[in-house]
Amino acid sequence: MSSTDLQIIQNKIYEVRSCRIMLDSDLAELYQVETKVLKQAVRRNIDRFPPDFMFELSENEDNSLKNSLRSQIVTSNEPTKGGSRYKPFAFTEQGVAMLSSVLRSPTAITVNIAIMRAFVLLRQMATGYNELLKRIEELEESTDAQFSEVYAALTKILSTPSPPPRKPIGFITQASKQKSQ
């Protein structure tokens, strides 16, 4: 599979309940089977799918995902994206790996390998983001220390009171005294 295919797979990975998942309809599309066929295979082998491998989305989670999908894709003609009567299955990375033992077609094997690579790339990207975030925080700390000195000097300059008005120096005539009064 190409990098474009990996990008398509990555776009089908969502975060729900603080874990990355793929929906049954997206997996069925990738495996080139109907969603109901995929669900039947899972139900026949349900002991292979503990809750940390696969779970049903709650109605709120399902609606939230559908809303985010609608915002990403303005309109969708696919019936699998909106009109299912059943709650969708959400498969974690381990659940997707377990699907390879349930669906044994050559397409399923190829797609499964690509999906595993997509999950690995997402993990690597997340690690890269964490390292970048750490560097930014370190940079903020060092610049904060430097700028705190500048702020302190500016505060000192701005907080010093202005000197009291001084009496003019020079020769004062009677005429200049009358003008100032």
The answer to the question of residue 101 being in a domain is yes
- Is residue 181 included in any domain, yes or no? no
| pLDDT tens digits, 124-144 | 877 777 778 888 888 887 777
Q: How many domains does the chain have?
A: 1
Give the pLDDT band of residue 2 (cuts 50, 70, 90).
Answer: low
Does residue 149 fall inside a structural domain?
A: no
The answer to whether the beta carbons of residues 90 and 55 sit under 8 Å apart is yes
DSSP, res 6:
H
Provide the token pair at 28: 């069925």
**Is 69 among the domain residues?**
yes
Residue 119 resides in a domain? yes
Alpha carbon separation from 165 to 74, 161, 162, 173 (Å, rounded) = 70, 12, 9, 21
Task: Decide: 30 and 111 in contact? Cβ < 8 Å.
Answer: yes
Q: Is the residue at 148 inside a domain?
A: no
61: domain range? Answer: 3-132
pLDDT at residue number 123:
77
Residue 153: inside a domain: no
Does residue 127 belong to any structural domain of this protein?
Answer: yes
CA-wise closest residue to 28 among 116, 99, 97, 83: 99
Answer yes or no: are the C-beta atoms of 59 and 87 closer than 8 Å. yes
pLDDT digits (tens, 9 = 90+) for 141-173: 777 777 777 778 888 777 777 777 877 777 777
Confidence of residue 76 (pLDDT cuts 50, 70, 90): very low
- Check residue 77 and give its pLDDT: 46
The confidence score (pLDDT) of residue 55 equals 92
Tell me the mean pLDDT in the region 100-112: 79
Q: Which residue has the higher pLDDT, 172 or 57?
A: 57
